[in-house]
Amino acid sequence: MGRIEEKIEENKTKGKSLKIQCSECNRKTRHLIFQSIDTSGSELIDQQYSVDWANHYQIVQCQGYETISFGHFNWFSEYQDFDWDGSTERLYLNRLINED
């Protein structure tokens, strides 16, 4: 195992906006970032090589129907290949869980 370095930043992107697919609007819409947590890290394998990753968590509001959701964007250097940049984008939508 190499040396691991990780850093966490709070609300670095607060107030900015992003275009994300919205399930209410059924298209990509502008979302305002209310709160954000950005983490990034790397593990130094040797002098030439490191494994890197980043996670961005955001509470976002769609500027269409004003729906608030939770977004998670991940990037991992080891997932990269010629047809994928190594990033995944997830939006957690409200779902009823207290129904019997």
Choose which of 20, 33, 60, 62 interacts with Zn ion (CB under 5 A): 62
Q: Could you say whether residue 60 binds Zn ion (CB under 5 A)?
A: no
Choose which of 20, 22, 33, 60 interacts with Zn ion (CB under 5 A): 22
Classify the C-alpha dihedral 61-62-65-70 as positive or negative.
Answer: negative
The residue (of 29 and 58) whose beta carbon lies closer to Zn ion is 29
Measured CA to CA, the distance from residue 94 to residue 100 in angstroms comes to: 17
Residue labelled with tokens 């939770």: 70
Q: Could you say whether residue 25 binds Zn ion (CB under 5 A)?
A: yes
Measured CA to CA, the distance from residue 55 to residue 57 in angstroms comes to: 6
Determine the interface stretch with Zn ion among 17-25, 40-48, 49-57, 80-88 (rule: CB under 5 A). Answer: 17-25
Q: Could you say whether residue 61 binds Zn ion (CB under 5 A)?
A: no
Query: Which residues inside 64-93 make contact with Zn ion, applying CB under 5 A?
Result: 64-65
How far apart are the two ends of the chain, measured CA to CA in Å? 47
Burial category of 64 from C-beta neighbours within 10 Å (exposed 0-12, middle 13-18, buried 19 and up) = middle
List interacting residues with Zn ion (CB under 5 A): 22, 24-25, 29, 62, 64-65
